[in-house]
């Protein structure tokens, strides 16, 4: 075995130039593929992260009818026993009730429809870290009757902390509701959409405003990370009465998930093309290498080396070549991606505005998920194994006499 690896290694360096060019092509493709995939996954992570960590949470318990029809009629009654049970589940870090609805907000002659979320401030803060996003004013407490206004909205309404926001809406059972709320703070939401229309207030104040005493629309559940979502969902689903359901973050954002999938698929196609082209290049090179060495293979087969062993040697050669390239690519990519992961590239100008219109933060985010890198290495390995197999057939069909004459 060792002999074959040694032979393979030396054979690789027989034609240094060719080996370097071929492995550079692999380095190039791995580098490019990693960068692109990392950027893609990074931007998905940031989009999803903004939604999960600053809005929906990983899981929510809702009334079965609520998802289809988001009205207060489909809200839930407070059930402390159930909440305690869910909170007791091992994976669950936190569970907090919310009352979500819409309202028309107004300040002086300006008005704007807003997205209203009634929260238990203290718990919610541990999920969405709201208090850290405050740019002016103070965070609210559980019994506060004031509101937190998103920065973009505040700018539009020309409202500031201390001013009074008027909100009009439709409450539980269709009751008209109207209320005045002191603005306690202005916060900045990273997602532009939310930044332009979000209002937080205490759960009690929201229930009061919507005449929905003791009711809430959803229980937001936080787990450690997305790996825990599925198991937690299973356990929670088992606890729920038939009129309640548990939804995961990806079920709650089907459009985003479908866009992510579409975009990812587009990226994969590009990478397949790239790898296809690189694969052909490697194939061509290996083919030349094998053809050049037909006589040599003939001689070593004649003196008694089995074709299987020749193939094994050839296999090691090709795999080593691929390994060199993949390793080089990863060595080149990892520090770059690590750096950009810690320092996302800020975007300015047209592209930033365009991204804002799509509800994205104007940054080029990178992901350092190992799977991105592993997949590239595996792809290269797969391609070279395929090529090695084709070459093995050619060696298996080698005729000694012919080879010796060449």
Rounded CA-CA distance 204/183 in Å is 16
Tokens of 367: 């992901």
Q: Which alpha helices (DSSP H) does 52-93 contain, by range?
A: 80-88
Q: Which of 53, 93, 111, 131 binds other proteins (CB under 8 A)?
A: 111
Contact status: 114 vs other proteins (CB under 8 A): yes
Contact status: 273 vs other proteins (CB under 8 A): yes
Q: Which is nearer to other proteins, 3 or 80 (CB)?
A: 3
Q: How far is the CB of 242 from other proteins (least distance, A)?
A: 22
Contact status: 357 vs other proteins (CB under 8 A): yes
Contact status: 173 vs other proteins (CB under 8 A): no
Is the separation of the CB atoms in 403 and 297 below 8 Å? yes
Contact status: 103 vs other proteins (CB under 8 A): yes
Q: Which is nearer to other proteins, 245 or 285 (CB)?
A: 285
Q: What is the DSSP letter of 316?
A: H
For 255, residues 6+ apart whose C-beta sits below 8 A from its C-beta are: none
Phi/psi at 186 (5° precision): -115, 130
Q: How far is the CB of 146 from other proteins (least distance, A)?
A: 21
Q: How far is the CB of 96 from other proteins (least distance, A)?
A: 23
Tokens of 281: 């290049």
Q: Which is nearer to other proteins, 10 or 126 (CB)?
A: 10
Find the part of the chain contacting other proteins (CB under 8 A) among 25-33, 52-60, 237-245, 377-385: 25-33
Tokens of 13: 């360096």
Contact status: 302 vs other proteins (CB under 8 A): yes
Contact status: 374 vs other proteins (CB under 8 A): no
Interaction with other proteins in 182-221: which residues (CB under 8 A)? 197
Residue 364: Cβ within 10 Å count: 16
Q: How far is the CB of 377 from other proteins (least distance, A)?
A: 17
Tokens of 253: 């954002």
Interaction with other proteins in 5-24: which residues (CB under 8 A)? 7, 10-11, 13-14, 17-18, 21-22, 24
Find the part of the chain contacting other proteins (CB under 8 A) among 54-62, 240-248, 281-289, 365-373: 281-289
Q: Which of 5, 87, 94, 104 binds other proteins (CB under 8 A)?
A: 104
Report the Cα 226 to chain-centroid distance in Å. 10
Residue 174: Cβ within 10 Å count: 11
Q: Which is nearer to other proteins, 236 or 326 (CB)?
A: 326
Q: How far is the CB of 174 from other proteins (least distance, A)?
A: 8
Interaction with other proteins in 123-162: which residues (CB under 8 A)? 155-156
Q: Which of 283, 323, 341, 363 binds other proteins (CB under 8 A)?
A: 283
Interaction with other proteins in 26-65: which residues (CB under 8 A)? 28-29, 32
Q: Which is nearer to other proteins, 349 or 370 (CB)?
A: 349
Looking up tokens 């500031």 gives: 160
DSSP reduced 3-state for 105: strand
Is the separation of the CB atoms in 97 and 218 below 8 Å? yes
Q: Which is nearer to other proteins, 26 or 92 (CB)?
A: 26
Contact status: 287 vs other proteins (CB under 8 A): yes
Rounded CA-CA distance 346/343 in Å is 9
Inter-CA distances, 219 with 119, 174, 209, 228, 330, Å: 10, 23, 19, 17, 43
Q: Which of 77, 84, 88, 110 binds other proteins (CB under 8 A)?
A: 110
Looking up tokens 């520090």 gives: 335
The H-or-E segment that residue 126 falls in is helix 121-128
Q: Which is nearer to other proteins, 11 or 333 (CB)?
A: 11
Q: Which of 353, 371, 378, 389 binds other proteins (CB under 8 A)?
A: 353
The closest of 211, 230, 216, 250 to 82, measured between CA atoms, is 216
Contact status: 306 vs other proteins (CB under 8 A): yes
Computed over its alpha carbons, how large is the radius of gyration of the chain? Answer: 30
């Amino acid at each position: 075995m060792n002999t074959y690896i040694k032979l393979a290694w030396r054979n690789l360096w027989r034609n240094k130039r060719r080996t370097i060019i071929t492995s550079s092509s692999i380095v190039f493709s791995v580098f490019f593929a990693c960068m692109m995939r990392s950027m893609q996954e990074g931007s998905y992570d940031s989009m999803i992260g903004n939604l999960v960590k600053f809005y929906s949470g990983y899981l929510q318990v809702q009334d079965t009818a609520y998802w289809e029809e988001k009205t207060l009629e489909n809200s839930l009654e407070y059930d402390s026993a159930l909440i305690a049970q869910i909170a007791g589940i091992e994976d669950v870090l936190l569970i907090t009730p919310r009352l979500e609805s819409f309202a028309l907000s107004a300040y002086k002659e300006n008005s704007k429809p807003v997205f209203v979320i009634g929260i238990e401030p203290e718990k919610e803060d541990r999920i969405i870290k709201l208090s850290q996003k405050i740019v002016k004013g103070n965070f609210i407490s559980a019994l506060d009757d004031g509101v937190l206004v998103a920065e973009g909205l505040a700018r539009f309404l020309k409202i500031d902390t201390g001013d009074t926001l008027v909100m009009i809406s439709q409450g539980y059972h269709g009751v008209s509701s109207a209320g005045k709320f002191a603005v306690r703070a202005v916060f900045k939401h990273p997602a532009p959409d939310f930044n332009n229309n979000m209002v937080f207030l205490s759960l009690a104040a929201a229930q009061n405003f919507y005449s929905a005493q003791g009711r809430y629309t959803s229980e937001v559940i936080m787990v450690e990370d997305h790996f825990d979502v599925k198991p937690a969902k299973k356990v929670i689903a088992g606890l729920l009465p038939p009129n309640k359901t548990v939804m995961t973050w990806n079920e709650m954002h089907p459009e985003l998930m479908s866009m992510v999938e579409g975009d990812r698929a587009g990226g994969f196609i590009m990478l397949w093309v790239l790898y296809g082209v690189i694969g052909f290049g490697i194939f061509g090179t290996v083919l030349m290498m094998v053809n050049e060495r037909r006589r040599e293979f003939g001689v070593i087969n004649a003196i008694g080396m089995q074709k299987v062993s020749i193939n094994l040697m050839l296999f090691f050669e090709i795999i080593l070549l691929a390994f060199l390239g993949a390793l080089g690519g990863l060595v080149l990519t990892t520090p770059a991606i690590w750096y950009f992961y810690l320092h996302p590239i800020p975007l300015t100008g047209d592209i930033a505005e365009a991204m804002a219109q799509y509800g994205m933060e104007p940054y080029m985010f990178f992901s350092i998920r190992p799977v991105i890198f592993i997949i590239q290495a595996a792809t290269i390995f797969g391609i070279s194994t395929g090529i090695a197999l084709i070459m093995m057939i050619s060696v298996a069909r080698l005729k000694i006499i012919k080879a010796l004459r060449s």
